Amino acid sequence: MNTKLPYFIIAIVVLIADQVTKAWATAKLQFIDLQSMEIIPNFFRFTYARNRGVAFSLFADSEFETKWILAGISLVAAIGVGVYLWRSGTHEKRLNYALSFLLAGIVGNLIDRVRLGEVVDFIDFHWYEKYTWPTFNIADAAICVGAALLALEMMREQKVSPAQPTET
């Protein structure tokens, strides 16, 4: 049995959760008034949105067709992360968790991009209407968690690694 199996299972579970919740959001939120459902007043709601761009809707209003460019970049990233996860040491738990979440998030949004040409977002945090966080989905959250864990791992490695000798 591959000792990496639990990490790939985590990626699959997160990917399934992402796709199921996006299907729910599309079915339930797309057709209600204002495409929004308040869950915690003035703080949290589900709001149906589609994003043609990348994180925080960057490039969403581009005149160019970005679907296949972004899908290609996502595919390369998913393959790279998957290979890195496969090859990383089994003792590197934080790294493996980080890569699992990154892989799930990248593939989740890649599926939307290929299927729909854009990504379905629906999680919407806000403070009254004064402050709003960009609408996102589980794949986006998984990417953020994975990136944060990866950053922590990189900082830990920098502290642990011996100082490099300098040339004189």
The pairing of strands 36-40 and 44-51 is antiparallel
The dihedral sign for the CA sequence 40, 41, 46, 51: negative
Tokens matching residue 159: 């502290």
Which one of 18, 112, 121, 124 is the catalytic residue?
121
Residue 126 φ then ψ, to 5°: -155, 155
Exposure of 49 by Cβ count < 10 A (0-12 exposed, 13-18 middle, 19+ buried)?
buried
61 is catalytic: no
Residue 47 φ then ψ, to 5°: -130, 120
Which one of 18, 112, 124, 140 is the catalytic residue?
140
Amino acid at 129: E
The dihedral sign for the CA sequence 123, 104, 18, 5: negative
121 is catalytic: yes
Length of the chain: 168
Residues annotated as catalytic (active site), given as ranges:
121, 140
